[in-house]
């Protein structure tokens, strides 16, 4: 049996596949990220199906709760995915993607082009820039809020050090209460309070004395006063 040079090379490759070193490939990290992405993908599909069902139902109350729960799950998954990407940002930035010899380059040319892309798509690049700009603006706002909060705490402490809190009256009010005019004002104020209490008692109970709680309980249990 005679083999041409290409056939011989193919046979040699089949019998002795090239040794590929996988030790430098962060398989566990990439697999975790892939699982997170797959979870987000499945949740998005379920959420889309739920929204389509919601639009067709006359009674939307129960389906609304389903959508709300799925949205909460999606937010949690996004947080987990963002944490994974952030903690492995340097690794992902320095990792180069390349096809293995057995990769079907002809059949999967589109996928290969996507995997080997060095720059994001224009629409992706646009929202990335928008997100970074918004993050910087919010970061400045947060720093301003922190400085304002620190100033407020310092000012509150300064004002607190200027006062001594021992009751509900200021020092000037307490000193006035010791004078004859202050005592007279205090007496009139107490009389007015007593009159208001008496008026409220007459309005609420027609001038009768309220029943003792024990009598109320006795009447509730036995029906007798």
Per residue in 72-100, pLDDT (tens digit) is 999 999 999 998 888 888 888 877 777 77
| Contact between 43 and 70 (Cβ < 8 Å) | yes
178 vs 175: CA distance, rounded Å: 5
Is 13 a domain residue?
no
Q: How far is CA 204 from the centre of its chain?
A: 50
Query: Same domain, yes or no, for 225 and 149?
Result: yes
| Contact between 192 and 184 (Cβ < 8 Å) | no
Tell me: the pLDDT tens digits for 132-159?
A: 887 776 666 667 777 888 888 888 888 7
Query: Same domain, yes or no, for 164 and 222?
Result: yes
Q: Provide the whole-model pTM.
A: 0.42
Is 191 a domain residue?
yes
Q: 188 is in which domain, residue-wise?
A: 145-225
Mean pLDDT, residues 158-172 taken together = 74
22 vs 26: CA distance, rounded Å: 9
| Contact between 183 and 177 (Cβ < 8 Å) | yes
| Number of independent structural domains in the chain | 2
Is 69 a domain residue?
yes
End position of a domain, from candidates 81, 96, 111 = 96
Query: Same domain, yes or no, for 149 and 211?
Result: yes
Is 123 a domain residue?
no
């Amino acid at each position: 049996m005679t083999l041409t040079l290409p056939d011989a090379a193919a046979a040699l490759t089949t019998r002795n596949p090239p040794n590929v070193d996988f030790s430098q490939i962060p398989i566990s990290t990439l697999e975790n990220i892939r699982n997170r992405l797959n979870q987000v993908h499945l949740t998005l599909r379920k959420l889309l199906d739920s929204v389509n069902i919601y639009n067709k139902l006359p009674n939307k109350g129960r389906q609304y709760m389903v959508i709300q729960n799925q949205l909460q799950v999606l937010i949690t998954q996004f947080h987990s995915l963002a944490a994974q990407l952030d903690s492995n940002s340097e690794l992902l930035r320095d990792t180069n993607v390349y096809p293995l010899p057995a990769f079907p380059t002809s059949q999967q040319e589109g996928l290969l082009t996507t995997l080997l892309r060095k720059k994001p798509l224009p629409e992706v690049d646009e929202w990335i820039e928008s997100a970074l700009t918004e993050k910087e603006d919010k970061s400045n706002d947060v720093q301003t809020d922190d400085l304002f909060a620190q100033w407020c705490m310092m000012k509150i402490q300064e004002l607190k050090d200027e006062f001594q809190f021992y009751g509900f009256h200021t020092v000037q009010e307490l000193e006035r209460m010791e004078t004859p005019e202050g005592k007279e004002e205090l007496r009139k104020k107490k009389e007015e309070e007593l009159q208001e209490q008496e008026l409220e008692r007459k309005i609420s109970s027609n001038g009768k004395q309220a029943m003792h709680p024990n009598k109320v309980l006795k009447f509730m249990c036995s029906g007798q006063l």
